[in-house]
């Protein structure tokens, strides 16, 4: 298989140190460079032209779809989709359900799972950022960024997992929003929703939602010791509401990929990546719905504890959460004709612009019209 790849123009400086297993050579484009220590595995693996894989120590790539002109240094890349022009530095662990859109850049030792990063987002080094969607920014110079040593905590002592939303899909798609900045050594406890234009100061511990254009700076200043009961849940209505908002945004992103990105790129090499991106988004939706169902199952037990302790505010929160759980948000219905939008984008991309440039060149009236239609489809959940 190594010789087959070399014959089609794949550059392998040290063939004896590269392992290729169960791949389709037709899905590895010419000009790809595989550095020593790299392992390619899985029939769904795709690597686009001029991408560099395994620089600085090799990479393990399993059923990952990687676009053109990417540089992925040593690390593991499994069941993920990475679009064009992405840079990932050494020590990365990019796991299942991740979608990195065009121009994303990650520092060294970044761990991601079930995470979606919109175009030109930058993450620093030594970061854990699982179960999240991050949008915002308008260009490579004006991008959303996460500082080094930041941790997004997605797992609770109760055994639940939640996701956090930074920005939103209806507005973030058009790459015209204020960026979100999360400072280094910040701790964020999911689920939260952080608005566009927010600055989360370095070292902050964030446990709540933040509206657009806010500066947040708060650090722990006291020691607390109290009895802990893992069966007791706190503020479940907020957790359910934020999770449903997150799921609705993922549903909108899936609709966008199916109705806008896929028609634009149908028939090109990029179609493989867009279809893989749809699968990543869908896996994120299924993961969040599964986790939410498990969380809801615990509410009645937790409610009984709070009733016994006369925690009135928590009782009300639980009752509201239980009521919400009876009619959880379904799939958003987008009553909108995307044909003009698709035609405008296709014309610009055919004329030489890449996707990011084409989005930014759309008429402002069309952007606003589309964004409003997408936002209306999720509206006010409750």
pLDDT tens column, 233-254 = 999 999 999 999 999 999 999 9
Residue with tokens 């016994």: 308
pLDDT tens column, 310-320 = 999 999 999 99
Predicted pLDDT of residue 330:
65
Structure confidence at residue 261 as a pLDDT band (50, 70, 90): very high
Instruction: Tell me what the mean pLDDT of segment 32-45 comes to.
Output: 96
Under 8 Å between Cβ of 232 and 156: no
pTM of the model: 0.95
Predicted confidence (pLDDT) at residue 382 exceeds the cutoff of 50: no
DSSP character at residue 15:
G
Structure confidence at residue 220 as a pLDDT band (50, 70, 90): low
The b-or-e profile of 27-57 (16+ CB within 10 A means b, else e) is: bbbebbbbbbbbbbbbebbbbbbbbbbbbee
Predicted pLDDT of residue 344:
95
pLDDT tens column, 51-98 = 999 999 999 999 999 999 999 999 999 999 999 999 999 999 999 999
Under 8 Å between Cβ of 60 and 76: yes
User: Residue 209 belongs to what H/E stretch?
Assistant: none
pLDDT tens column, 137-154 = 999 899 999 999 999 999
Lowest-confidence segment of 23-32, 114-123, 185-194, 219-228 by average pLDDT: 219-228
Helix 299-308 to helix 270-297 angle (10° resolution) is: 40
Lowest-confidence segment of 133-137, 153-157, 169-173 by average pLDDT: 153-157
Determine the Cα angle at 129 with ends 125 and 381, to 5°.
Answer: 150
pLDDT averaged over every residue in the chain: 93
Predicted pLDDT of residue 379:
63
Domain boundaries in the chain?
236-378
Lowest-confidence segment of 80-89, 179-188, 213-222, 278-287 by average pLDDT: 213-222
- Nearest CA to 186 among 165, 163, 207, 205? 205
CA–CA distance, 241 with 238 (Å, rounded to integer): 5
Predicted confidence (pLDDT) at residue 27 exceeds the cutoff of 60: yes
Predicted pLDDT of residue 351:
78
Predicted confidence (pLDDT) at residue 364 exceeds the cutoff of 90: yes
């Amino acid at each position: 298989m190594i010789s087959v790849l070399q014959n089609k123009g794949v550059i392998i400086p040290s063939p004896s140190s590269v392992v290729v297993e169960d791949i389709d050579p037709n899905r590895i484009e010419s000009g790809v460079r595989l550095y020593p220590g790299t392992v390619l595995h899985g029939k769904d693996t795709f690597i686009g032209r001029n991408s560099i894989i395994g620089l600085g120590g090799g990479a393990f790539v399993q059923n990952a779809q990687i676009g053109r002109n990417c540089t992925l240094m040593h690390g593991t890349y499994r069941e993920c989709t990475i679009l064009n022009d992405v840079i990932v530095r050494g020590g990365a662990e990019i796991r299942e359900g991740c979608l990195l859109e065009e121009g994303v850049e990650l520092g060294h030792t970044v761990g991601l799972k079930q995470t979606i990063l919109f175009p030109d987002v930058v993450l620093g080094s030594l970061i854990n950022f699982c179960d999240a969607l991050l949008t915002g920014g308008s260009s490579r110079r004006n991008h959303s960024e996460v500082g080094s040593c930041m941790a997004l905590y997605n797992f609770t002592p109760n055994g639940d997992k939640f996701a956090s939303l930074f920005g939103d899909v209806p507005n973030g798609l058009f790459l015209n929003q204020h960026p979100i900045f999360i400072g280094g050594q910040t701790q964020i406890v999911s689920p939260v929703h952080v608005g566009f234009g927010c600055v989360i100061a370095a070292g902050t511990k964030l446990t709540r939602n933040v509206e657009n254009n806010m500066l947040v700076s708060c650090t722990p200043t006291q020691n607390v010791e109290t009895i802990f009961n893992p069966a007791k849940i706190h503020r479940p209505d907020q957790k359910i509401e934020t999770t449903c908002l997150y799921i609705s945004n993922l549903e909108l992103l899936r609709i966008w990929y199916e109705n806008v990105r896929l028609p634009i790129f149908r028939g090109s090499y990029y179609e493989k990546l867009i279809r893989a991106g749809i699968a990543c988004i869908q896996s994120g939706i299924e993961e969040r719905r599964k986790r939410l169902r498990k969380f809801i199952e615990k509410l009645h037990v937790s409610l009984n504890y709070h009733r016994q302790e006369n925690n009135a505010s928590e009782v009300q929160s639980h009752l509201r959460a239980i009521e919400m759980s009876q009619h959880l948000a379904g799939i958003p219905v987008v009553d909108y004709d995307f044909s003009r939008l698709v035609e405008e984008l296709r014309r610009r991309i055919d004329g030489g612009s890449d996707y990011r440039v084409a989005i930014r060149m759309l008429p402002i009236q069309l952007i606003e019209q589309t964004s409003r239609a997408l936002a209306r489809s999720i509206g006010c959940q409750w």
